[in-house]
Each structure stands twice: as structure tokens, then as C-alpha cells.
Structure 1
Amino acid sequence: MTRPEVAPPFPSAEMERILRAWDRAIDAGLMEDGAETKYHFTPDGKVLSVAAGRSGQVLANGERLTPSAAERLRREMPLLARTVTFYENNQLAGRGLGGGPQDGLMSLLPPRAPDPMPPLDASALVDAQTATAELVRQGKVSEPVGAMVIPAPQGGVLLAVGGRDGELYVNGHALTQQWADALRAKVPHLASDIDRLQVMRAEWLDCPPQDRTLALADGCTDANCHTPH
């Protein structure tokens, strides 16, 4: 005899915590009182709530959806990791909450295996390593430890490292808008990764300069990322 499915208990305590976080966001001026707020639940009692902030940025559970906040939310609620990434990508594209899943209980889906790893372009990697070694020689980067190495399916690679001065370097150069555009032309299949790195750099530059040597090692959760850390 098949037992009827029983709805999981409503996460009352977690909802109370998130509602208080939204009150603080309103008091801090991050969002308008009464702004549209969406709630996504999982059977294990996790809650992801999103809203549009005053300046158009996406807020999640009462805080700005920065790269570090998104990584933390994916660790804390793995069943909602894809949803977090959806809103993170929406923010990069300026779409806010548009096209988001409906409010309510999310189904318990099995975790998806990572995409097949593209072959690593050895020549491109050597070039990126050589350029990074020059940064080490100049004293801008302590060592290429904690580097994020992302191969492109059609050849090419991104090698990102955090600098002693709080800068984010990719393939031997600070990730300025001009260099980001040049990289997109070289490795168009990695444009979304360059977008993600640009957002990360902007977040770093909002803070006082500090040694970012191991910052990428702590922040990288990409299963398709080659890393020496």
C-alpha cells in the first residue's frame, strides 16, 4: 500500500529570521517597503527569498546577492543552488527577478553531475602561467596559489589570481573593462565566467585593499574548474 505524501512542516523559525532580515534591509535603505518578494522552499526546511533592491540589484534573504553571498547560499542550501545561480545570472544581465521560478515548495531533485571537463589547452595555459609569473616577479602577486583555472571548450584558458593589493588579475593583467572585453574576444565561450570575475573584482574594490592571495581558493565551487589549490 502506497503511503500518501506528507507535506514537510513549515519552516516557521527560518521564516521569522528572514522576515527580520528584510526589515533590516528596508531600514538600511536597500529596498522599498512593500517591494515584490519571492519565496522558495525545500523539503529540508531551507528558504531562499529574493527581492529587487532600490538600485536594481537582487537581494537574497535581506542582503545584496554579491558573489561571496551567492557562494555561501549555495553551500548552505544545495537544493536551491541552481536557483541562486539563476538570480545571480539575472543580476548580471539586469533582469532582476524576471523569469524566476514560482513561489512555493521546490521538488527534491537529485544533484546534477558536472558537465564534462573540456580539454585543457596546454599552450594557452603556459602563456597564462608565464604572464602570472611576471606578476609574481613584480611583487603584485605573492604566488599563483589559489588560482582559478577555467578552460574553454574551443581552446583558450582563464587563469585568475588575487593580488597583494586587492586586485583581481586574469592572464597576467588586472581585470579592467578593457581587458575583460579583450578576453571575451579571445575566449567567447568563457564570457559568463568573465562576467562573474568582473563582479567579484568590483566587490573586492569596494573593500579596503587587502591581500587576496587565497580569496579565489575559498570562493571557487565550480566543479569544472581546474585549480592548483
Structure 2
Amino acid sequence: MGRMKKKRAARDARRQPGARPQTAPPFPQAEIERVLRLWDRAVDSGLMASGTETKYHLGPDGTVLSVAMGRSGQVLANGERLTPSVAERLREQMPLLAGMVTFYENNQLAGRGLDGAPEDGVMPLLPPGGPDPMPPVDQAALADAQAATAVLVRQGKVAEPVGAMVIPAQRGGVLFAVGGRDGELYVNGRALTQDWADHLRTMVPELASDIIRLQAMRAEWLDAPPEDRTLALAGGCTDPNCLTPH
């Protein structure tokens, strides 16, 4: 019965003026083979075990996002660790799959791995939606954060906060994040240690997910040799409600 309904629907669509039956996009064989080679390299480098199950999400534009769990429990995407910088690059490379990249990134930050992931296959295009209304910036909180950051500037730890990431909260409060000359990530005038992150979560609980994302970014920075991170946050926030002055 269901098959007959589908046939009738296709026939009716053909009869409508200007209507064309939808066709599935061509299978991206070359891109799949490229991603398979990336997984082979991940196995050879020890990131994941041979035979680990991988998931494949195909964009309507021929892009491919493949994910798996690594040996140490981290999420891997297209053969590499899904760090904040990798997630940003993948969102730029495959904008039609950006939502899937963010899904897995958020899962990793919450320790859920691949739980709740959709089935493999072609991902439907979502209707475009505008950003949420920009919350008013708490000017008093912003001034306090800028004053605390100015102390870091005088100490030589931070350059003039060009490219600072400013994230306002709906109910007041703000996160003012800057990259330090010493490779540190400072938020509201202090290094984003675990204690300071916990304190910030009590001050602006609705920005808890942003704090987690900044913590992940800091952890990635600290894994590498110290370098000047003055401009590292410029354009680093994909949230439409994030203000990033340059």
C-alpha cells in the first residue's frame, strides 16, 4: 500500500506544471575514498583501533563527515581529534554539515561520545533560520571585565585586547575572553583555570556551554608550545549572539 501511494505521489508531481521529481544527489565515491584513507592513517598513528565502527553523514553538496571513537575515548572526525580548531575548520569546509559537526563537538564536551547520533546517510537541508535576538550587553559587567583585562595589559600578559571574544548573557553578565602573549586564555581578567571557570558558571550560569567551549580551547592551546595568542579568538565564535570586536 505504501509503495502505491509513493507511485501516485510521483505521478501527480509529474503532472503539475513546472514540477520535477526530486532525485538523490550522486554518491560521493571519491570523497568517501579520501575519508577512508584518513581513517587508515588514524589507525596507523594509533588514534583508533582497527575495525572501529565509523558513521558517515553525507551533505547534499557531496561533502562527507565521518566520525568514530578514538582509543582514549575522544571523538574523531575524518581521521583526526575533534578539537575546537578542527571543528571550526570542518564547519567552514562543509557548511551544510556544520550542524552535525557542532552536534558531535557538544557531545564530546559533555562526555557523551556518539550517543544520540542520527543514522548514516544524506542529511536533509534545514530551512534557514535567523539568529536569536542579540541580548543587550550588560555595560557595567562589560566595564568590569575590561578593567580587569586592562590590568593584564599593564602586566604585559595581554596585548591591547584586539580580537577579544565578548559573549553577553540574556539576564546580565558577560564573558570577555582574550588570548595571552604567553599562550594562556584569559576570561574576565583571569586565566581560565578550573576554579575560575567554576566561579564564572555561578556568575553567568546561562553561558555554561560557552565556558566549556572556552575551556576546551584553552586545553588545546596548552597542549602546544606557548605562543602569542593575541588574535587567536578573532572570529573564533560561531554563535550569532557572540560579539567579537576587531
The interval holding the TM-score normalised by the smaller chain is over 0.9
When the two structures are aligned, how many residues end up with a matched partner?
229
User: What does residue range 147-162 of structure 1 map to in structure 2 within 5 Å?
Assistant: 147-162=164-179
Q: Which amino acid aligns with 1:137?
A: R
Q: Which amino acid aligns with 1:106?
A: M
Query: Over residues 58-90 of structure 1, what are the superposed CA-to-partner deviations in whole Å (9 max), with x where a residue is unaligned?
Result: 000000000000011111111111111110010
1:198 matched residue in structure 2: 215
Q: Which amino acid aligns with 1:151?
A: P
Q: Which amino acid aligns with 2:174?
A: V
The answer on 1:132 being equivalent to 2:136 is no
2:38 matched residue in structure 1: 21
Structure 2 CA distance for aligned equivalents of residues 195 and 105 of structure 1: 30
Structure 1 gaps, min length 5: none
- 1:67 aligned to which of 80, 84, 101: 84
Structure 2 CA distance for aligned equivalents of residues 39 and 55 of structure 1: 21
TM-score, normalised via structure 2 length: 0.91
The answer on 1:4 being equivalent to 2:21 is yes
* Partner-residue secondary structure (3-state), 2:234: helix
1:83 matched residue in structure 2: 100
Structure 2 CA distance for aligned equivalents of residues 146 and 134 of structure 1: 17
Q: Which protein has the larger Cα radius of gyration, Structure 1 or Structure 2?
A: 2
1:186 matched residue in structure 2: 203
1:122 matched residue in structure 2: 139
The answer on 1:106 being equivalent to 2:89 is no
* Partner-residue secondary structure (3-state), 2:129: coil
Q: Which amino acid aligns with 1:105?
A: V
TM-score, normalised via structure 1 length: 0.98
The answer on 1:58 being equivalent to 2:78 is no
Q: Which amino acid aligns with 2:55?
A: K
2:49 matched residue in structure 1: 32
Q: Which amino acid aligns with 1:81?
A: A
Judge conservation of contact 2:235–2:244 (CA < 8 Å) in 1. Answer: no
- 2:182 aligned to which of 141, 165, 186: 165
